[in-house]
Amino acid sequence: MKIEIALDGQNHQVELARVGGRLRCAIDGVPLEADAVQIAPGIYSILIDGESLEVRVELDGGALRLTVADREWRAKIRDPREWRRNRGSAAEAQGRQQVSAPMPGKIVRVLVKTGDSVEAKQGLFVVEAMKMQNEIRSPKSGKVERLLVTEGQTVNAGEALAIIV
């Protein structure tokens, strides 16, 4: 599962997967393994690199308040799947659109060529991140004006991949 977390106003890309009872995640592309157990409603015991943390999670308006020892953070979580679901009924993007990498990874397939006509939500690229392949889709119907990456190229989150007009 991929989510975006704004922690005290700073955005972070988080990928989560459960592998053999352990939580495997990457925060902004940096891998991290952890064990997490809910010990009471809203209280979690998390073991990261041999360090045990007790995290209290409370709803605070539309956000979460996270407390670890005497430190407190405010977090807002945005699930890209929810964003896509809500966006589905909206009109497609207009004008020239830059397609960007949503996460760091490697371009394993380029599905279009410069000059190709594409439909909204048509696959343009396949990006591999943490051994998972993710399809990057067109934000609008139009024409591929320019491809900015090639197969095998490593990309950073937010890096421009193509221009659609």
* Structural domain ending residue among the three candidates 29, 49, 80: 80
Domain of residue 135 covers 92-164
78-131 pLDDT, tens digit per residue, is 755 554 444 444 455 667 889 988 888 999 999 999 999 999 889 999 999 878
137: which 2 tokens? 């889709």
pTM recorded for the entire structure: 0.46
Q: Are residues 71 and 108 in the same domain?
A: no
Q: Are residues 16 and 44 in the same domain?
A: yes
Q: Which of 8, 157, 14, 119 is nearest to 71 (CA)?
A: 8
Contacts of 73 (CB under 8 A, 6+ apart): 7, 8, 65, 66
Task: Please spell the DSSP secondary structure of 146-158, one letter per residue.
Answer: EE---TT-EE-TT
56-80 pLDDT, tens digit per residue, is 988 877 788 889 988 998 888 875 5
**35 beta partners:** 47
With beta carbons less than 8 A apart as the criterion, state whether 99 and 163 touch: yes
